[in-house]
Structure 1
């Protein structure tokens, strides 16, 4: 019972705003990937879907640093399995769709992980107005405004919300 409490407290102590910031930094700076991954080391597929999605993103980012193509692919697939598990667990969670979109948009075509870009984009556009967290709203808005997946018209709509 004590062990479960300690593990739960550790997971609960991971601040989602810290995770978001670490993800953004890791996506832009390879030297910050390890820090992002370490933040989510104890997250399992049994945890809250948003954290599971970010754990998948951390693993996918680690894959970029592997030397051998076989190792890159294996690690990337592991990361994607976390993201897809999070989508299955919480398909109405905008942040999970956002994480998957970010991975898909920045993944090389040869990995063939681009099949849900339009679905995730439309989900985010449809539900953006429903985001209650100002931190999450700002975070997703910043991504949309620099993303190639969104048209100028879609960016304008989001800018005005």
Structure 2
């Protein structure tokens, strides 16, 4: 019983000690440089669906990014589906949280058409545009803004509006 208590405390402390800004930066780095995917995944290894929805969504993104590196199609598909299930669960758990929508948009925008995971791009884009002004975290605001400015999903007019906020 003592061992179980220590194990739970250790895992809880690890999850509590995760710096969300570090996770965001690792996500951005992993999306731009495939050599950083492993480090991003390790950062979120102990996250489960019982944790904060934002961390669950990032874990899903990490798993989906791992799928890119797989050689076998079957394993690629399995990892991608597992990653997406975490992201979808996070959105279901916290439908009004902008960050899981942002993560799903990033995945859908950068996923090959063959995977048929593009159905929420417009929905997430509109949600982000509507909620952007309500973001209180400067780090998150800049993180999403940087993505929008390089994204093909957003028009030049939408990028201009976001730039001025």
Match of 2:153 among 129, 139, 149: 149
The reply on whether 1:158 has 2:162 as its aligned counterpart is yes
Alpha-carbon distance in 2 for matches of 1:160, 1:2: 49
Alpha-carbon distance in 2 for matches of 1:131, 1:69: 39
Alpha-carbon distance in 1 for matches of 2:8, 2:35: 33
Partner of 1:7: 11
Partner of 2:22: 18
Aligned Cα root-mean-square deviation (Å): 0.7
**Structural mapping, 1:39-50, within 5 Å:** 39-50=43-54
Q: How high is the TM-score relative to the length of structure 1?
A: 0.98
Aligned residue pairs total 161
Alpha-carbon distance in 2 for matches of 1:155, 1:106: 18
Which portions of structure 1, spanning 4 or more consecutive aligned residues, are displaced by more than 6 angstroms?
none
Q: For structure 1, list consecutive stretches of 5 or more residues without a partner in the other structure.
A: none
Q: For 1:125, what is the secondary structure of its paired residue?
A: helix
Q: How high is the TM-score relative to the length of structure 2?
A: 0.96
Partner of 2:62: 58
Match of 1:86 among 72, 80, 90: 90
**Structure exhibiting the larger radius of gyration computed from Cα positions:** 2
Shift of 1:3: 2.8
